[in-house]
Every structure is written in C-alpha cells, then in structure tokens.
Amino acid sequence: MTKNTAKKNTATREAYGEALVELGRENRNIVVLDADLSKSTKTEMFAKEFPERFFNMGIAEQNMMGTAAGLAASGKIPFVSTFAVFATGRAFDQVRNSIAYPGLNVKIAATHAGITVGQDGASHQSVEDIAIMRAIPGMTVINPADAVEAKAAVKAAALMEGPVYIRLGRHKVPVVFDEEKYEFKSGKGVVLQEGGDVTIIATGIMVAQALEASKLLSEKGIKAKVVNIHTIKPLDEDLIIECAKQTKAIITAEEHSITGGLGSAVAEVVSERFPVPVKRVGIKDRFGQSGLPEELLKLYNLTAEDIASAAAELIRKK
C-alpha cells in the first residue's frame, strides 16, 4: 500500500472505500450493498475488485437494509452504504426492526453526514443521524475524526459482532492522526491533549477544530484538555467523568444537532454522575442549507473560533 493519503486533506468516505477493499481481500464473508450511490459512497472501489460480493440494490434503501439483514442471517458480514439521511431516515424501521432488534451483524456505513455535504442543501444534510442511531438499543455508533481513524474504525467494525453505525463525511478534512501509530479501540475515548482549565470533547470532523481551538485558548493562557470521542455509543463514561472532575467544565463539539448527539450524551452522563457546567457546540435545532462547507461551518458556528469562545465563556461561569 502506498501512503498517498498521509497528511493530505482526505474525506473519511475515501478511507472507507480503501478499507472495504482491504477487508474484502482479508475476509470472503464481507459483502457490500449500495443504493445507486456507489460512486459517492466509494463502495465502487469494492465493487470493481469483488463484483460477485457487491450488490447494487437500486434506489431502494428499505429493501437494501432488509436484504443486508438476510445476508447477515446467512453468515455474511454486510456493509451497507448510502447517504446518512437516507440510511437513518428513509430506512429507519428496517434498521430498527430487521437489523437491530434481531441483533444481526450488519455494518451501516453512511456517508455525506452533516452540513459539510455542502451545496446539495438540507434534504441531503443529516443533522440528526447520531441521535436516531443512538436511540436504537444495542446499536454501536462510531463517528471517525479523519481518514486514518475512519479506516481503522471500518476494519474494527468488521470484527465486532452486531449492528454498527459508522458516520462518514463527503468533504475533505485534515488528517489528524498518524497512520503508523494509530490504534482504534471501540468505546474508548482518546485524550489528545492535556489541560486543566476546560475539557473540549469532540467527535468526527470537529476533532481537528477542537485541537485548533485549544491553540487559540492557549494564546489567552487557557489550558484546554482535548478528548476525541469516536465511539458515541457505547460512550466512554469513565473518561468523561474523569474530565469533569479534573477541569470542572466541558465543551462538546459535533457537526450534528445538539439534540441527541454527542453533546446530549455527554450532558446525560455528567448530570447523572458529576454535574459540572457543559456547553454544547453544534447545530441548534435547524436544518442545513446550500453553500460551501466552510461557509456553512461558519454560519452554524462550528469553527475552532466558536469552540474557543464557548470555552472562554464557560470558564467564566465556573
């Protein structure tokens, strides 16, 4: 393998496509289903190498989820891909009743999550997919921060038993992690930087923004601890409580609605076990809209500056 992705901005969907091909070579039970979006979701990379294990189900997401359930019941490990809005919205009932309730081993890898979809606008920008998937009993929910983490998470998901939702993006984002050293441990949060004044808990593409925010804060003399939560469910509650005890203030950051996503999950555990002030940076009960990803991230207050100012304000309230 050439390391052509190193340090160059890469979309997590690209890493997904690469991971599927590698998985396909390693394990003959891997099968992939798509609903007429294989070029966009990057499953076409798998389709080209393993046409006999790739199933284009046409524009029929509900049927695709059900078929994946049947394939899992036959001992296959299906990866199912479409855009996050369709995977979690259009086919919700099939994900709930045909996949999750019977505990079937289906991996839902949904791309084009969040507002960084960009110009397609609100109908294609899922701001609630984490909330929906998190509410389903037994569903593992993973939101990788960059291409390195996405690839490792996809490979780890193939080895897990049971349903997994993996949230992937369309937009090229900075590579945060070193592929040589990176190790994915499902359900474990990762401390990326120590600091005692405030903890920034981030997920997905907001992890890079959180690291940027900590630099802005250090210029003001504020030392921020930065934590990456790639697995939103099961949540690394112990690490979050440790952060609450240590810094007494928590900022969450996600490219998702603040209703039901990472911010909610963190607030739930903190309020139950060790209440400290929590401020959620995310999308505030709004749909997305057309625009370039950078324009939208600014408009919806999802930048490093937004995280830093929320943190500075929260510290004043401590």
- Based on CB atoms, which residue is closest to other proteins, 57 or 315? 57
Q: Which of 14, 44, 61, 128 is catalytic?
A: 61
Radius of gyration of the chain, Cα coordinates, nearest whole angstrom: 19
Tell me the closest approach of the beta carbon of residue 142 to other proteins, in angstroms. Answer: 23
Question: H or E element: which one contains 193?
Answer: strand 190-193
Query: Binding of other proteins at residue 69 (CB under 8 A)?
Result: yes
Scanning 72-80, 110-118, 174-182, 242-250 for contacts with other proteins by CB under 8 A, the matching segment is 72-80
Query: Binding of other proteins at residue 63 (CB under 8 A)?
Result: yes
Scanning 69-77, 219-227, 246-254, 258-266 for contacts with other proteins by CB under 8 A, the matching segment is 69-77
Whether residue 61 lies in the annotated active site = yes
Task: Confirm if 231 and 165 have CB atoms less than 8 A apart.
Answer: no
- Based on CB atoms, which residue is closest to other proteins, 101 or 182? 101
Q: Which of residues 74-113 bind other proteins (CB under 8 A)?
A: 74-76, 78, 93-94, 96-98, 101-103
- The set of residues, in sequence order, having a beta carbon less than 8 Å from that of 190 and lying 6+ positions away, is 227, 228, 230
Q: Which of residues 26-45 bind other proteins (CB under 8 A)?
A: 31
Task: Tell me how far the alpha carbon of residue 290 is from its chain's centroid.
Answer: 21
d(CA 154, CA 170): 16
Task: Confirm if 153 and 244 have CB atoms less than 8 A apart.
Answer: no
Query: Binding of other proteins at residue 196 (CB under 8 A)?
Result: no
Tell me the closest approach of the beta carbon of residue 85 to other proteins, in angstroms. Answer: 18
CA distances from 71 to 32, 57, 137, 179, 247 (A): 10, 13, 21, 32, 47
Query: Binding of other proteins at residue 67 (CB under 8 A)?
Result: yes
Task: Confirm if 194 and 218 have CB atoms less than 8 A apart.
Answer: no
Query: Looking at the annotation, which residues are catalytic?
Result: 61
Residues near other proteins (CB under 8 A): 31, 52-53, 55, 57-58, 60, 62-76, 78, 93-94, 96-98, 101-103
